[in-house]
Structure 1
Amino acid sequence: MVGTLPIIYVRGFAGDTSGIDQAVDDPFYGLNLGSTHVRVGGRGDPVFYQFESPLLRLITDHQYRLLVEGGQEGYLDSQAEGTVEQASLWIHRFYDASASTWSAEPVDFSVESAAKDLLRFVEKVLSKTGAPRVHLVAHSMGGLISRSMIQRTIPETYSAQRLGAQQRYLAAHFVDRLFTYGTPHGGIEFDVGFGLFEKVRDDFGLGGGDIFGPQRMYEYLTPADSRESQVPEKWDARVMPNDENFPLERVFCVVGTNARDYPAAHGLSSKVVGPKSDGLVQIQNALVTGANHAYVHRSHSGRYGLVNSEEGYQNLARFLFGDVKVTADLIDLAFPDDEELTWQAEAQVSIRGLPILMHEQAAAHYCPILIEKRRPEDPADRPVPLVTTYMSSTSSRPEQAPTMRYTLHIRVLSLRERKRGFFWEDHQEQTSDFDDTLIIDVGFVDRGMAAWAAWASQITTPLRSYRPSGNPLTDEDPKEGTWMARVALPPGGRFFGERAALSLRVRNVV
């Protein structure tokens, strides 16, 4: 990442003309919306917490500027190339042309036209700011518009066939990071109707909703030179196929897990889509396969929405501006010899100084981590990925706390399953087979990056008073800028075998 780059926000689906007319009334397409409610405690009771909005926080925390002055397009047109501040916020106002509130005749909306217009706007922002690339931040359908630009519009516009082999441009030349909130990367599916609702929607294009079905998604995500007339049988919309064009390392997906609080259609949407969702997008469809991601207990939008949340913003800020990436995997697990047991893990990540969880996968939110038993052909150290998070060495910390700290709370649970049914004769409700928290401190020493780790069950002071001491963990990765170590499970996890451990990898982000 090079310095502070322009951010372009791409909003989500507005529905029919009345929804579009309402959307264009907002100067910032919703990026300016904050919230005052959070749910806390085991019962999820609502309490007051004031989140200002992503727009204001980017301005106050990272000194971004809004340069509107009557109209952002007019402002950009009036400026000389390379003179506009790079630390600037822009809104892709793709719905304006489809609104009926202006004097011009509205045009029909399509993802393809919005993606082409996004590329035009990206090029204008790059020209006027002199920035090497932009960040794209998108909510819901906005992520599909962004992906259409990345996967189809740019390859078709700047292909080797059109410009010559030495002049081909990749999406990575235009976009540095893509961050999505609740985007239906795998489309929108329903938990009821046995596929009938999806078929009617896609066949008749009801309310424009066919853009979330496989045929239309295949059309706007696939370049013409590789597109077939029908969707290939094994095609998966969640896959971004060309890592050279745009590396998955540059993509981050925030996944909502709170269907209960999604208010659309007086709660009917969440009932139709099902509880394993944010109320509109099913959890399994909100991810780009292999991309960075975080699960947060927020709904698709509304009072408890994703965009207007501290959880969403903190993941956004650390992905765009953080300089350290941390991943944690369980490795070398040897399961007890009982073929009827199925295993799940839960993970929660918190960063010191933040009042929220950065990531939370839990059975209660319909998104536990499924642990598959090792097959004979699998490597002995096959990992169970737990979490990936980003941190910033410049974030504020308590005095005399030189390290960045995050905690990883891990629970491992087992259930007895026979013939696809669960049996409870030896089950203990509200208990787990393993439950502990790893305290991870990341800092810098003379030799470069270093980390310390301790299990909460083995420290003898309150967590806020704990300071790591002694030598850091041994770095097992010789590459510069990357650090890796094994942390043995505490005694409570030794039933997974003597070699069972947590693998930590820390690396500098460039």
Structure 2
Amino acid sequence: MDRLPVVYVRGYAGSTSGIDAQVDDPFYGFNEGATHIRVDGDGDPAYYQFEGPMLRLMTDENYRLLVRGDQQHYLEAADDGSLPQESLWVYRFYDQAATTFAEPPQEGVLARLWSRLHQSVTADGFDIEAAAAGLYDLVMLVRAKTGAPQVFLVAHSMGGLVCRSMIQKVCAGPGRLPAKDIVARLFTYGTPHGGIAFDIGALDWVQETFGPAGADIFSPAKMYGYLTPGKRFGDRPRSRDDWDPQALDPRVLPPSRVFCLIGTDPKDYGPSQVVVGPKSDGLVTIERAYVRGAHRAYVHRSHSGRYGEVNSEEGYQSLRRFLFGRWGATVALRGLPAYPSDMDRRPEADRWPVWQADMRLTIRGLPVVLSEQLAEHWCPIQLNEELARHVDTADTPVPLASTFLMDPGHEAELAAERKEAAHPAAHGGRLRYVLTLKVFKLVVTTSGFLFKDHLEQVPEWADTLIVDVGPNPDGGGLTAWAAWNSEVSGPNDLSDPITEGLPPERRAALSFERDADGQSCRVALPDVAKTLQVLGEQAYLRLTVTDRLDETTPR
């Protein structure tokens, strides 16, 4: 995969005093890491050193950080096409709003006190559309100096909205290049793509009406102005516009080029967790943290800080795979019963079942879970809701997981660039991806959950699908082997590929067929799973692998 320039865009810094503190960091926080991670349950935090996403791209992908005193001036002074494409750039859009780069004014005591009070509640000099226009200029400058046709945008929080304002509005202006021509991929950490909403409605009104320290940019209604061509900040969508802040027009930038990392741990964030509520990362609610149709990963991390999403191995692993993984892989439940069914809440019913699923996605060799949607983290897969979205569809697809697979030869190419000996590929070049599923049934009445016969945290069905993916021995593309953990005798690490110990008829690789989405295959569910009302006899998993180098595949 092409290693294009990476442009980092930081998040909201708050008032002018907060901006002044942040601009002292030459890399706007993307150089920060963490020295330990949380463990589940009541165990002690386990020591683990994560170097930060910027340093890891330098060590893992041979990227270069070119500063030379001032990145902007260094870029401007360089000859066109003279800088490496494998380079990292930090968009320092807050510098113009900081007071630390200007000569301090001569002020009396009262004036100084008033100035400090003013700086603690306002963000003079910052404008999100101006920041988006400046990002476009930086992207064009990086393209010219590196010779790269496109860039990767990596953004935290509000930085993702700056990117979207550039993509959806600035790039649509006269004389501008379309976003799809200059942005290869957009990765966002904890971006409020649907705005920020509070559990306390009055706080929404304060945010939208007064916008302390420029916070009104997070009002869903006000997002319309800086995300819509031809509109101004403050313009509101009309009811007939049917405007959705989380929608991205595929003609502008296909959502398949966007990856949204969603945090699910509010406890490690600041006071905002109290007013935002538990179903969030402490600032951004889970339902508002993604672009519709984009790839997603759910991680039990907070919005920022030492236990934040940017400072996490989980976030970095999704970032690296999204930027440089050759193959996209998705798993969905298919063949489910049509809706409505016996699960439907009928007016005359006094109780009805609600079905939820927990999901974990892990990869062999990583110390973290790549993505997890759990009821205990406030984000299970709501099967009733998923089925209700496809009322008349007998083969209802329910998305379970989306990730990207690295080319087995990628590490060898990187080692050759470093003039190092490449390590022989372990496991025959096969990568192991593991999907754990648990299906729960809750009985609900008009007054809430019915706990009379309920067994908390006891699933109706649970199993783990182990998938080995590797080069096709017959040449070209990938092949895969899959088995449910309940089928495997003994420790699963002793079976490689995972079907090795199964009966002869089950040892063959999966049979892929090419369709409009790429190469797909069916994985049968265990018989016990099919006895569940929500799944049914026809249910199966559909595994789809898309080659991103295939010119016929949308990128």
Q: Judge same fold: TM > 0.5, yes or no.
A: yes
Once the two structures are TM-superposed, the CA of residue 492 in structure 1 deviates from its matched residue by 2.5
Does residue 108 (structure 1) correspond to residue 125 (structure 2)? The answer is yes
- Name whichever of 465-474 and 409-418 sits farther off: 465-474
Of residues 487, 490, 504 in structure 1, which corresponds to 2:526? 490
Per the normalisation by structure 2, the TM-score is 0.85
What letter is aligned with 2:225?
A: E
Does residue 121 (structure 1) correspond to residue 120 (structure 2)? The answer is no
Q: Distance in 2 between matches of 1:183 and 1:215?
A: 16
SS in structure 2 at match of 1:224: coil
Q: 1:393 to 1:273 in 2, by over 3 A?
A: same
Of residues 399, 404, 413 in structure 1, which corresponds to 2:426? 399
RMSD between superposed Cα atoms in Å = 2.1
Write the deviation string for residues 129-154 of structure 1: whole angstroms up to 9, x where unpaired.
00000000000000000000000001
SS in structure 1 at match of 2:470: strand
Of residues 358, 373, 377 in structure 2, which corresponds to 1:365? 377
**Cα pair 1:214 1:231 within 8 Å, conserved:** no
Once the two structures are TM-superposed, the CA of residue 33 in structure 1 deviates from its matched residue by 0.3
**Cα pair 2:226 2:232 within 8 Å, conserved:** no
Q: Distance in 2 between matches of 1:27 and 1:346?
A: 40
Of residues 435, 438, 455 in structure 2, which corresponds to 1:428? 455
Unaligned stretches of 5+ in structure 1? 160-168
- Name whichever of 215-224 and 132-141 sits farther off: 215-224
**Cα pair 1:142 1:183 within 8 Å, conserved:** yes
**Cα pair 1:488 1:499 within 8 Å, conserved:** no
* Superposition pairs of residues 9-408 of structure 1, within 5 angstroms: 9-43=8-42, 45-103=44-102, 108-158=125-175, 169-191=177-199, 193=200, 195-224=201-230, 229-233=235-239, 234-240=242-248, 242-262=249-269, 264=270, 268-334=271-337, 337=342, 340-372=352-384, 374=387, 377-394=391-408, 399-408=426-435
Q: Distance in 1 between matches of 2:174 and 2:27?
A: 28
Of residues 520, 539, 542 in structure 2, which corresponds to 1:503? 542
What's 2:469 paired with?
442
Q: Distance in 1 between matches of 2:246 and 2:343?
A: 35
**Cα pair 2:225 2:231 within 8 Å, conserved:** no
Write the deviation string for residues 297-342 of structure 1: whole angstroms up to 9, x where unpaired.
0000111000010000000000000011111111123499565111
* Superposition pairs of residues 466-477 of structure 1, within 5 angstroms: 466-468=495-497, 469=500, 470-477=507-514
Q: Distance in 2 between matches of 1:118 and 1:73?
A: 12
Q: Distance in 1 between matches of 2:182 and 2:206?
A: 38
What letter is aligned with 1:186?
A: G
**Cα pair 1:97 1:107 within 8 Å, conserved:** no
Aligned residues: 492
Q: Distance in 2 between matches of 1:274 and 1:358?
A: 24
SS in structure 2 at match of 1:400: helix
What's 2:438 paired with?
411
Write the deviation string for residues 462-496 of structure 1: whole angstroms up to 9, x where unpaired.
121111243211123257x9321111111331203
Once the two structures are TM-superposed, the CA of residue 393 in structure 1 deviates from its matched residue by 2.2
Write the deviation string for residues 254-293 of structure 1: whole angstroms up to 9, x where unpaired.
000000011x3xxx21111111110111111111111111
**Cα pair 2:196 2:220 within 8 Å, conserved:** no
What letter is aligned with 2:395?
A: D
**Cα pair 1:393 1:404 within 8 Å, conserved:** no
Once the two structures are TM-superposed, the CA of residue 230 in structure 1 deviates from its matched residue by 2.4
- Name whichever of 252-261 and 495-504 sits farther off: 495-504
What letter is aligned with 1:332?
A: G
Q: 1:200 to 1:107 in 2, by over 3 A?
A: closer
Q: Distance in 2 between matches of 1:109 and 1:116?
A: 12
SS in structure 1 at match of 2:251: coil
What letter is aligned with 2:244?
A: D
What letter is aligned with 1:306?
A: E
What's 1:465 paired with?
494
Once the two structures are TM-superposed, the CA of residue 377 in structure 1 deviates from its matched residue by 4.7
Unaligned stretches of 5+ in structure 2? 105-122, 345-351, 412-423, 501-506, 550-555
Q: Distance in 2 between matches of 1:420 and 1:398?
A: 57
SS in structure 2 at match of 1:284: helix
Once the two structures are TM-superposed, the CA of residue 406 in structure 1 deviates from its matched residue by 0.3
What letter is aligned with 1:321?
A: F
Q: Distance in 1 between matches of 2:212 and 2:312?
A: 31
- Name whichever of 231-240 and 149-158 sits farther off: 231-240
**Cα pair 1:482 1:508 within 8 Å, conserved:** yes
Once the two structures are TM-superposed, the CA of residue 117 in structure 1 deviates from its matched residue by 0.4
Instruction: Report the structure number with the largest CA radius of gyration.
Output: 2
SS in structure 1 at match of 2:38: strand
- Name whichever of 72-81 and 133-142 sits farther off: 72-81
**Cα pair 1:483 1:506 within 8 Å, conserved:** yes
What letter is aligned with 1:56?
A: L
Q: 1:455 to 1:97 in 2, by over 3 A?
A: same
Q: Distance in 1 between matches of 2:391 and 2:72?
A: 57
